[in-house]
């Protein structure tokens, strides 16, 4: 059977539903929602159908259908009785009156089927499997439904309200180009970001042919590496970028999602050699947005956690360049989850502290006395090169030398490794071992849970260091 999805006007032709059970009831509801004229023939019907009849939304004939039933020629007939012989006879009768027939007790030979529908009216997404697999259709519907922001409704409505204006302003051959420009502009994203006023202003500027002001900077947290850990919004903004500024922590899995025609600019830093100075990055983000581009600033993890995201948007705020900030899963969360180390397990820790172990002049200036607290988990970002200094300081300020420590190397990536030991032994035991950046350090008794809770076989690769 070949099928073709078409969208019908709800009130084009009447529908007759034979049967009053659950399936019939669902179809009736769908049809009523679409504004269809519905007649139900069933000796008894469920409460939902009865309620609709009471409201006058449908006509119900409380009787058994007969094989020689009369149907309005060219109308739609849904056969939902549990008597397949009767369904068979009614199908033949309906077709002899040029009706379109859908039997719910079989999926072959139907003239039409009901697709699963994701409703963002005026936008509808319909999914069907030619009737062969309702379960698969439902599964897909759930996935797409979760992925499609509710705000597409508002976007659909905005487009509907603009249609008349566009028609007035542009001759027919120019309209498709206008709508393409509109869809590629920042308007859809502004609607999805629930900023309808700005969306409308920009739409009006586009309509009047003035385009400037379209640019925006998206400061997006790309998470710790596994692209599956992106948020829906991050993915959407990544896919709509004109130009991308990214650094070392943004993995290839995430970069693969950037549109092929977007310009890519590497601004990464490797410890001592700053590829592009921070001031210059800040300035370039602003400049590109002011040219009207949608500028994606992708940062590893969360942009506001040791990411200098705040500095990058400060200049934008000062210039009045619009921006959005999208949180990402920070390395602490990613490494803890994928390493089976619950950071605040109740038996071990009441608090967790994120600190930077970045060295300045060979030392790091941390409030050591606060860090040695026994019921606290310490997460140290950028702490690999200063590890032995950090462990030494913690011990000399009173931390138990047997305190467990984990180094999570390339957390959440396919080659993640977890090295465990104690703060007394770890620095010496990794000496001479090749440990790759990025590596996150976790200190505290929660680390002991790793041996029990590591759950992703391909990511466990536990390298006990002591």
What distance in Å separates the CA atoms of residue 421 and residue 464, rounded to the nearest whole number?
A: 6
Can you say whether the dihedral through the CA atoms of 311, 323, 145, 226 is positive or negative? Answer: negative
What distance in Å separates the CA atoms of residue 337 and residue 456, rounded to the nearest whole number?
A: 10
Dmax of the chain from CA atoms? 95
**306 binds ligand SAH per the rule CB under 6 A:** yes
**337 binds ligand SAH per the rule CB under 6 A:** no
- The region of 4-12, 127-135, 189-197, 433-441 touching ligand SAH under the rule CB under 6 A is 433-441
Q: Which of 20, 188, 253, 300 binds ligand SAH (CB under 6 A)?
A: 300
Least separation in angstroms between CB 349 and ligand SAH:
19
Start-to-end CA distance of the chain, whole Å, equals: 65
- The region of 46-54, 55-63, 69-77, 408-416 touching ligand SAH under the rule CB under 6 A is 408-416
Q: Which one of the listed residues 27, 37, 242, 247 is annotated catalytic? A: 247
In the region spanning residues 234 to 253, those forming contacts with ligand SAH, defined by CB under 6 A, are 249
Instruction: List all residues 6 or more positions away from 244 whose beta carbon is below 8 Å from its beta carbon.
Output: 238, 255, 258, 262, 263, 264, 265, 295, 296, 297, 298
**152 binds ligand SAH per the rule CB under 6 A:** no
Instruction: List all residues 6 or more positions away from 165 whose beta carbon is below 8 Å from its beta carbon.
Output: 207
Q: To 5 degrees, how large is the angle CA 147–CA 153–CA 154?
A: 120
What distance in Å separates the CA atoms of residue 314 and residue 320, rounded to the nearest whole number?
A: 10
247 is catalytic: yes
Q: Which of 110, 412, 420, 422 binds ligand SAH (CB under 6 A)?
A: 412
Closer to ligand SAH by Cβ: residue 116 or 331: 331
Q: Which of 118, 267, 382, 442 binds ligand SAH (CB under 6 A)?
A: 382
Q: Is 14 helix (H, G, I), strand (E, B) or coil?
A: coil
Considering CB under 6 A, how many residues would be counted as binding ligand SAH? 22
Q: Which of 42, 387, 440, 442 binds ligand SAH (CB under 6 A)?
A: 440
Q: Which of 110, 214, 282, 439 binds ligand SAH (CB under 6 A)?
A: 439
Closer to ligand SAH by Cβ: residue 34 or 408: 408
**407 binds ligand SAH per the rule CB under 6 A:** no
- The region of 90-98, 186-194, 304-312, 417-425 touching ligand SAH under the rule CB under 6 A is 304-312
**335 binds ligand SAH per the rule CB under 6 A:** yes
What distance in Å separates the CA atoms of residue 224 and residue 465, rounded to the nearest whole number?
A: 24
**14 binds ligand SAH per the rule CB under 6 A:** no
Q: Which two tokens stand for residue 263?
A: 């310009």
**411 binds ligand SAH per the rule CB under 6 A:** yes
**330 binds ligand SAH per the rule CB under 6 A:** yes
- The region of 49-57, 311-319, 342-350, 410-418 touching ligand SAH under the rule CB under 6 A is 410-418
Q: Which of 115, 215, 227, 307 binds ligand SAH (CB under 6 A)?
A: 307
- The region of 12-20, 195-203, 260-268, 327-335 touching ligand SAH under the rule CB under 6 A is 327-335
**386 binds ligand SAH per the rule CB under 6 A:** no
Neighbours of 330 (CB within 10 A): 24
List the strands of the sheet with 323-326, edge to edge. 263-266, 243-246, 294-299, 216-221, 323-326
What distance in Å separates the CA atoms of residue 114 and residue 126, rounded to the nearest whole number?
A: 9
In the region spanning residues 202 to 231, those forming contacts with ligand SAH, defined by CB under 6 A, are 224-225
Q: Which one of the listed residues 269, 392, 462, 466 is annotated catalytic? A: 269
**302 binds ligand SAH per the rule CB under 6 A:** yes
What distance in Å separates the CA atoms of residue 281 and residue 300, rounded to the nearest whole number?
A: 16
64-79: b or e for each residue (b if 16 or more CB lie within 10 Å)?
Answer: ebeeebebbeebbbbb
Q: Are 249 and 299 in contact (CB under 8 A)?
A: yes
Closer to ligand SAH by Cβ: residue 20 or 300: 300
Catalytic residues, which ones?
247, 269
Contact residues toward ligand SAH (CB under 6 A) are 224-225, 249, 299-302, 305-307, 330-331, 335, 381-382, 408, 410-412, 438-440
């Amino acid at each position: 059977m070949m099928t073709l999805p078409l969208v019908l006007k709800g009130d084009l032709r009447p529908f007759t539903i034979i049967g009053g059970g659950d399936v019939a009831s669902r179809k009736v509801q769908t049809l009523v929602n679409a504004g269809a004229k519905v007649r139900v023939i069933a000796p008894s019907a469920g409460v939902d159908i009865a309620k609709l009849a009471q409201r006058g939304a449908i006509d119900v004939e409380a009787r058994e259908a007969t094989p020689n039933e009369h149907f309005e020629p060219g109308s739609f007939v849904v056969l939902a009785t549990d008597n397949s012989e009767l369904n068979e006879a009614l199908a033949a009768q309906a077709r002899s009156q040029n009706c379109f027939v859908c039997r719910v007790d079989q999926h072959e030979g139907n003239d039409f089927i009901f697709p699963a529908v994701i409703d963002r009216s005026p936008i509808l997404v319909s999914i069907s499997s030619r009737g062969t697999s309702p379960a698969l259709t439902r599964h897909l519907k759930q996935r797409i439904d979760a992925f499609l922001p509710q705000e597409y409704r508002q976007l659909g409505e905005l487009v509907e309200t603009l249609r008349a204006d566009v028609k007035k302003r542009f001759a027919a051959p120019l309209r498709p180009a206008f709508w393409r420009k509109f869809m590629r502009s920042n308007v859809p994203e502004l609607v999805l970001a629930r900023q309808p006023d700005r969306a409308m202003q920009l739409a009006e500027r586009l309509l009047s042919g003035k385009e400037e002001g379209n640019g925006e900077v998206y400061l997006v947290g790309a998470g710790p590496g596994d692209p599956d850990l992106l948020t829906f919004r991050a993915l959407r903004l990544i896919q709509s970028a004109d130009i991308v500024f990214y650094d070392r922590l943004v993995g290839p899995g995430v970069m693969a999602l950037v549109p092929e025609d977007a310009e890519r600019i590497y601004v990464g830093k490797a410890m001592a050699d700053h590829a592009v100075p921070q001031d210059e990055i800040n300035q370039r983000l602003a400049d590109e947005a002011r040219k009207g581009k949608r500028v994606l600033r992708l940062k590893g993890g969360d942009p506001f956690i040791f990411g200098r995201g705040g500095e990058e948007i400060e200049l934008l705020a000062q210039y009045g360049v619009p921006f959005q900030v999208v949180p990402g899963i920070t390395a602490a969360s990613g490494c803890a989850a994928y390493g089976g180390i619950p950071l605040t397990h109740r038996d071990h820790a009441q608090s967790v502290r994120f600190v930077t172990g970045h060295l300045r002049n060979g030392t790091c200036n941390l409030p050591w006395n606060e860090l040695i607290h026994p019921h606290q988990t310490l997460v140290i970002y950028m702490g690999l090169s200063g590890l032995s200094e950090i462990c030494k300081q913690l011990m000399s300020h009173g931390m138990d030398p047997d305190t467990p420590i984990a180094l999570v190397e390339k957390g959440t990536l396919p080659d993640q490794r977890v090295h465990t030991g104690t703060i007394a032994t770890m620095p010496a035991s990794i000496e001479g071992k090749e440990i790759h950046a990025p590596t996150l350090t976790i200190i505290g008794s929660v680390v002991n849970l790793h041996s029990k809770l590591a759950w992703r076989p391909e990511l466990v690769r536990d390298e006990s260091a002591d």
